[in-house]
Structure 1
């Protein structure tokens, strides 16, 4: 696809930019973090894995570096309130942004209306972890496979309702990509968060939902929701009998839900590297790996360069999906 070529070009440019910044850095990060607090901005309300990531890292970082590390929840504006705050913050490594997959959809949703450039105004620190979405359907539909779901949707175009946590969310994009690749049509019903979307699913208000493993696992295990498949490239250890969507009849389908941490764009590379090394060490600790794993999230702990390459590939991918679907901000 064309976005692969664009992603490769962007990634190469990003690596060159990181190298140039490193060469221009005047001094190492020997004095960082100093005595100034580090703030993790979460562009969502408390609760959910974004919050878990921020509080886990901030708690352990405050202990290991003997500094104040705090979490600042800044929900609203489809995450733009928090994103804008960090993009405009002092680039000294003391203000960091929790960054999940929907960050890469915003350029496609808003075009030139964003107050920042997603690939220039942030310095990727670390790709912390990844999970998957699970496709669940209403039990009373009597559907027990992805193919049966596709067949039903084709026989009843536009009649099935699917939920999401809003335009550009990972569950919304997962279904839009699914519909594009299967030639199906369903009606989008956005909710203000995962919790109300799941409640609507449990109450039979909607017929289908893609959502993160941590948000659905207890309801699937309790038999309240019928799970059909996971969106990643391989099965999840939490539900080893569930096929991937690709295995179940949609070859090439893949959505990996990622979580990362970024700093303002002009943060000195030595500071970024120091943050990366310590955060990677902290989230690789066995108790954190288990904490995340119990929620269906696999620790990645990447380099800054690898996280940049991920975002650089995701932005054109989701821009294409959004443009082809004609998605508008709701």
Structure 2
């Protein structure tokens, strides 16, 4: 009896020893670093995907590291071990605008990351406080331009801060329309939207996911979307180009990256898991509820998008004269 027990204990010990390298190699849960605060569309979409890929990747946790326009969280990913266990959400701000906006960056947006997949690509939308629009008899983009030209320096627009997407879109509008409007920067997109709703500013360029609920509630008047194609969510709303603003195209996007040097087969495994999740009808429905569309891509296509956007926003940031020291 005693020898039988000893044999069983020895077998159990041997099995545990065989399992140990597997557990060590696994390295614990995968994390997705979201470089913005919890609760916004970027954070929520990351959480939806973290839940959806657990069948393929095991436990996936979200780690919010907000600050410096996405730079703090992105720096965490840049400095992580290149083992595929740390992903980051790369955004228009962190990976296309900030390299030209900040005097000093804690990472190299081009060299410190490997693209995994695009997640979301959505329009920005030019919106006015509805009451102000009625008061000023502004029903479209050309009405806004005409009023601004007739009343230089009277209209103002809010943004989430100097160098934010809303600021750059507003500056592009000001330059292309040839109008004198005043930029009012706020400490983030939420305060800028509150200022618009309260009538403290006349208009903003906001992402559609954030603005749409207030558009539908009648609190904001949408004048145009900033992409070259109309939005599926607001199909009757013209584009800025249709409204007479030639070559005006600005949108919001975000996707997943890992640390540079992560093995190609690991990147492909992550891409397969996340693109599979984004094609799941349940995930697509949850994204739709946030007024965004899941747009999975290959790593190469997402890398090209980020490179193209960095090149484009270099010119836009220089045009705006925005700088953060």
Please give the range of the TM-score, normalised by the shorter of the 2 chains.
Answer: 0.7 to 0.9
Asked whether 1:243 is paired with 2:225, we answer: no
Q: How does 1:273-284 map to 2 (within 5 A)?
A: 273-284=268-279
- For residue 174 of structure 1, what is the aligned residue in structure 2? 169
> Conserved in 2, the CA contact under 8 Å of 1:163 and 1:197?
yes
2: CA distance between counterparts of 1:304 and 1:188? Answer: 37
- 2:143 pairs with one of 133, 139, 148: 148
- Quote the offset at 1:251 in angstroms: 1.5
- For residue 199 of structure 1, what is the aligned residue in structure 2? 194
> Conserved in 2, the CA contact under 8 Å of 1:229 and 1:244?
yes
Question: Number of residue pairs matched?
Answer: 299
- For residue 301 of structure 1, what is the aligned residue in structure 2? 296
- 1:122 pairs with one of 113, 123, 127: 113
- For residue 90 of structure 1, what is the aligned residue in structure 2? 81
1: CA distance between counterparts of 2:232 and 2:154? Answer: 33
1: CA distance between counterparts of 2:231 and 2:25? Answer: 37
1: CA distance between counterparts of 2:89 and 2:25? Answer: 19
Measured at CA, do residues 123 and 196 of structure 1 come closer, stay the same or move farther in structure 2, by a change above 3 Å? same
Measured at CA, do residues 318 and 158 of structure 1 come closer, stay the same or move farther in structure 2, by a change above 3 Å? farther
Q: How does 1:219-298 map to 2 (within 5 A)?
A: 219-298=214-293
- Quote the offset at 1:106 in angstroms: 0.6
Q: How does 1:31-110 map to 2 (within 5 A)?
A: 34-65=26-57, 67-103=58-94, 104-110=96-102
For the aligned residue pairs, the C-alpha RMSD in angstroms reads 1.9
TM-score scaled by length of structure 1: 0.86
- Quote the offset at 1:290 in angstroms: 1.8
- Quote the offset at 1:269 in angstroms: 1.3
- Quote the offset at 1:291 in angstroms: 1.8
| Worse overlay, 284-293 or 273-282 | 284-293
Helix, strand or coil at the partner of 2:234: coil
Helix, strand or coil at the partner of 1:129: strand
Unaligned runs of 5+ residues in structure 1 are: 1-29
Measured at CA, do residues 277 and 173 of structure 1 come closer, stay the same or move farther in structure 2, by a change above 3 Å? same
Q: Which of these two proteins has the greater Rg computed from alpha carbons?
A: 2
1: CA distance between counterparts of 2:24 and 2:31? Answer: 14
2: CA distance between counterparts of 1:167 and 1:88? Answer: 27
Unaligned runs of 5+ residues in structure 2 are: 1-21
2: CA distance between counterparts of 1:222 and 1:294? Answer: 16
1: CA distance between counterparts of 2:52 and 2:80? Answer: 23
> Conserved in 2, the CA contact under 8 Å of 1:128 and 1:259?
yes
Residues 122-178 of structure 1 deviation map (CA, whole Å, 9 limit, x = unaligned): 111111121111111123232111011112222233332211112332222222222
TM-score scaled by length of structure 2: 0.87
